[in-house]
Amino acid sequence: MADSRVRRSRRPVHALATVFLAAALALTGCSAGGESSSDSGGGSNAKEAADQQAGAGAADSASDSKGGTGGKATRVPDVSVNHIIRTASLTVRVKDVPKALDAARTTTENAGGFVGDETTTRDGKGRERTRVTLRVPTDKYDEVLDDLEGTGKLIEREAKAEDVTDQVVDVESRIKSQQASVARIRELMDKATRLSDVVTLEGELSSRQADLEALLARQASLKDRTSLATITLSLTETPVKKADKDEDPGFLDALAGGWNAFVTMFRWIAMALGALLPFLVVAAVLVLLWVRVVRPRLPRRPATAPATSALGPLPREGDEQD
């Protein structure tokens, strides 16, 4: 009896998965045979069966990846391969931007890459500046980078490397588990007979299919970024260098400086007059009203009669004496 218990405890894990699958199918068959239950109850049973089926698939996958007997073996992701995202930024000064840009395109295409976004601008002195994004295979990354640096005078260089091996392995593992889960949900849908079970399983299938598509999109993005390096190249024309001369200022320099000072002073005076002009206009209008309208209407003071005496009017103060 003890040996029998030991042998029973050493059965592989996938036997438990088989038991769960049989229980799920039994529940589905009983509901099809006329068992009296509500639609909501049937939907719950179908969802539980789907979860049990997905759990069984995960257990089978884990058992197969560990080398268990029975079933086909699952391919384990190779963690020995490093997945690295490489990016670089270069600023190179050249004499002819269009010619250097054509050379960069040729180098990129010969390496098996392609040219992405491109922006060209021109400053006030007519000098061109071009910014272009290049995508090259990672095995040609260093070679292309050296060729681009040799097109002119290197001004700035920045290179980065990000190891995403863990993310790639994790995404691959989750995709395989999700694919197995979706397949088992489809099997349950093929065997379901009640409408409520079908509706519940369809909801589960839609949710897990969306998760699977998101994982596939992330896997494609990681593959693109790790297989092709990104190089941002900035090309600028060599500016004309002016001779450094420490010369004493002459008459023309003094004249130009005086003229600039005069123009600046005149500008400030004009600004001050412009600010005072509204007040001056109002003051002039008030004075004009006072002189033309208000003052003439004011009562005038009567003239003082001269003092008289028996001999006649007295002379005023200030009159000449005969």
User: Domain for residue 256, yes or no?
Assistant: no
For residues 15 and 158, membership in a common domain is answered with no
DSSP state letter for 194? S
| CATH number of the domain within which 134 lies | 3.30.70
**Burial degree of 101 (CB within 10 A; 0-12, 13-18, 19+):** buried
Domain count, the chain: 2
Regarding whether 232 and 124 lie in a shared domain, the answer is: yes
Average pLDDT by stretches of 10, the chain with 322 residues: 43 46 47 41 48 49 43 46 88 90 91 89 82 92 89 89 91 93 90 86 89 93 91 81 53 81 88 88 88 79 59 56 48
For 89, phi then psi, to 5°, come to: -135, 125
118 and 203 together in one domain: no
Q: Is 199 in the same domain as 142?
A: no
Shared domain for 133 and 181, answered yes or no, is no
Residues 206, 93 share a domain: no
Spell out the residues 6+ positions from residue 231 whose beta carbon is closer than 8 angstroms to its own.
87, 88, 89, 90, 133, 134, 135, 136, 141, 144, 145, 148
| Final residue in a domain of this structure, among 197, 226, 255 | 226
User: What's the pTM?
Assistant: 0.47
pLDDT tens digits for range 98-127? 899 999 999 999 999 999 888 888 877 778
CB 94 within 8 A of CB 237: yes
The reported pLDDT for the residue numbered 238 is 67
Q: 198 and 152 share a domain?
A: no
38 and 146 co-located in one domain: no
Q: Is 74 exposed, middle or buried (0-12, 13-18, 19+ CB in 10 A)?
A: middle
Confidence at residue 8, expressed as pLDDT on a 0 to 100 scale: 44
* Cβ-based neighbour number of residue 169 at 10 Å: 16
| Residue 286 tokens, joined | 């008030």
Range of the domain at 139: 84-164+228-237
At 232-283, the pLDDT tens digits run 999 998 664 444 444 566 777 788 888 888 888 888 998 888 888 889 889 9
One domain, residues 136 and 233: yes
* Domain end call among 207, 226, 245: 226
